[in-house]
């Protein structure tokens, strides 16, 4: 469910995430003044966001399976 907005409209999801997490506009970079925009393009953040969500899902499933396994042994 969390991946759907990212896949459908990454730019909108990116802006909404930053507006939610930061109460200032320091996350808005000017490509002419801040070379980080050219070093880390939008695709990097797209893939990083998907990787974070995938790792959260894998960790959650692993924790759930460990919990079920330990609960069954008692």
pLDDT tens, position by position, for the chain (74 residues)?
777 887 888 889 888 888 898 888 888 888 888 888 888 888 898 899 889 989 999 999 999 999 999 999 77
b/e code 17-43 from CB counts within 10 Å (16+ = b):
eeeeeeeeeeeeeeeeeeeeeeeeeee
User: Where are the domains positioned within the chain?
Assistant: 3-73
The residue behind tokens 């953040």 is 45
Q: What is the pLDDT of residue 35?
A: 86
Q: What's 32's DSSP letter?
A: T
Q: pTM of the full predicted structure?
A: 0.69
């Amino acid at each position: 469910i969390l991946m759907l907005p990212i896949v459908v409209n990454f730019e909108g999801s990116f802006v909404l995430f930053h507006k939610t997490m930061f109460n200032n506009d320091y996350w808005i970079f000017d490509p002419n003044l801040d070379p980080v925009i050219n070093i880390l393009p939008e695709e990097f953040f797209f893939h990083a966001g998907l990787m974070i969500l995938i790792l959260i899902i894998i960790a959650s499933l692993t924790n759930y399976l460990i919990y079920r396994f330990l609960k069954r042994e008692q």
